[in-house]
Amino acid sequence: MKLLITLITTSLLLIAPNAFSRDSKLMFSIADAMQSAEFQQRLDPNIRLYFGTQKHAKTLQSFGNVTTNKKTNAFGKSDGEACRWVFLSTLLALQERARTEGGNAVVNIVSYYKKEKNSSNTEFECHAGAIIAGVALNGDVVKLAR
């Protein structure tokens, strides 16, 4: 009996780190996230966000490139729920940076997980684990013609 308990305990200890070290790369729709009530209420409509190669008005002034990398507690949440929440947090950080620099937009926004660019006009990249979900974005803070 002691041998059986020892084998089960050892097996669980070897399996547990793999269960908690999950790092799934997931892609989610930008449009679906942006249309949610939470995003509509919290994002500043005066600071526009342009993903990938989306067209935008003429750039009047550039304030430089910015990267933000946010994480959120994913425990007890679906991957989609955790990823949308951290995506919103990341977009709010980009908008705050634009506001601080004097810009009115962030353009050329790309996913930037582990410094690897993933450009898309329609999707953002999120990495989800058993405990934490993260989104990293990179973009250019600018002032656009209205």
**What confidence tens digit (pLDDT) does each residue in 123-140 have?**
999 999 989 999 999 999
Structure tokens at 47: 């600071």
**CA of 22: how far to CAs of 16, 101, 119, 127, 132, in Å?**
11, 37, 24, 9, 9
What domains sit in the chain, N to C, each tagged with a CATH number? 22-144 (3.30.110.70)
* Number of CB atoms found within 10 A of residue 15's CB: 10
Spatial separation of the C-alpha atoms in residues 109 and 91, rounded to whole Å: 10
> What integer is the mean pLDDT of 61-82?
96
- The C-alpha torsion from 57 through 60 and 61 to 62, rounded to 10°, is 30
pLDDT tens track for 53-69? 999 999 999 999 999 99
